Amino acid sequence: MKNRTWIWVGALVVAAVVGFAARVVAAPNSTPSGPAKLITVSGTATVSTMPDEVLVDFGVRTQAGSSADALAANSVKMQSVLEALADAGIEQKDIETVRMEVNQQKLDRGTKHEQTVYVAQNTVEVTIRDLSGSGSVIDAAVAAGADQVQDIRFQVSNPTDVHTEALQEAVRGARAKADAMAAAAGARVTGVVSIREQGNAYPRSYNESAGMLALAAPTPVVPPHEIETSVTVTVVWSLALT
């Protein structure tokens, strides 16, 4: 699915620029010919991208009088879910076990009917790379025995590319501000001294509830949502007086 991208760019002058907006400052390593002339500017960019895949957790829960029986029943049930996912076009590399546990529980505690049971829980995380078919995949897993559908997250398959695009736009925004400020002060930007990213922001996933998906019965379709990636960079530029 081809992503559509919208970009917002902003920039803020860092307080390290002393005096009026484009006043130059002396660097610690000044040369005999005169101090280096620097200006520090921050640039921020936000890239909004349509998600092209969704992650869904499918769980299977079984209960028995012994842990062995609970696990055996759970294994059979989960195997049916995995086969249904394969039939729906999900590859093995897109299925990952994220939870497997057995817990002892007391039923009718404190009564003459009190008994001990064992509950086995197995959850797999599935990456669905075709949003248009996500509803069919969910239906197939539930029909095969998945009794829990949760933690649904939309995401983009190329987060590094989106992050790089936002970084480039942030630096371009910082350069535009630096050029404007330098020109107003009778100077011009001559080069880059340093660039630093503030934080490490990659596309945030967008969560949806299984209940929302079920509204689109009989085959739920995951609604699209834009995912935002925001980055801020601080750039130190060298200046020359005109």
List the domain boundaries for the chain. Answer: 5-51+158-205+224-241, 53-155
How many angstroms separate the Cα of 3 from the Cα of each of 7, 155, 157? Answer: 13, 11, 10
Bond into 203 cis (ω within 30) = no
Model pLDDT for residues 101-132, shown as the tens digit of each residue:
999 998 888 888 889 999 999 999 999 999 88
Phi then psi dihedrals of residue 212, to 5 deg: -65, -40
Which of 26-40, 74-88, 134-148, 200-214 reaches the highest mean pLDDT?
A: 74-88
- Model pLDDT, residue 92: 95
| Type of residue numbered 189 | V
Among 19-28, 60-69, 76-85, 101-110, the range scoring the smallest mean pLDDT is 19-28
Average pLDDT along the chain: 82
Rounded Cα distance between 53 and 130, Å, is 6
User: Residue range 79-105: average pLDDT?
Assistant: 96
Rounded Cα distance between 174 and 231, Å, is 12
User: Residue range 215-238: average pLDDT?
Assistant: 74
- Enter the pTM of the model: 0.70
Indicate if the pLDDT at residue 145 is higher than 80.
Answer: yes
Indicate if the pLDDT at residue 173 is higher than 90.
Answer: yes
C-alpha neighbours within 13 Å on the C-beta side of residue 218? 2
User: Residue range 90-106: average pLDDT?
Assistant: 95
Q: What CATH architecture is 5-51+158-205+224-241?
A: 2-Layer Sandwich (3.30)
Q: Percentage of the chain with pLDDT > 70?
A: 75
Out of 3.40.50.720, 3.40.50.1220, 3.20.20.70, 3.30.70.2970, which CATH number does the structure's domain 53-155 have? Answer: 3.30.70.2970
Q: Are strands 148-155 and 53-64 parallel, antiparallel or unpaired?
A: antiparallel
Better pLDDT: 77 or 21: 77
Model pLDDT for residues 23-41, shown as the tens digit of each residue:
434 444 444 455 679 999 9
- Model pLDDT, residue 2: 46
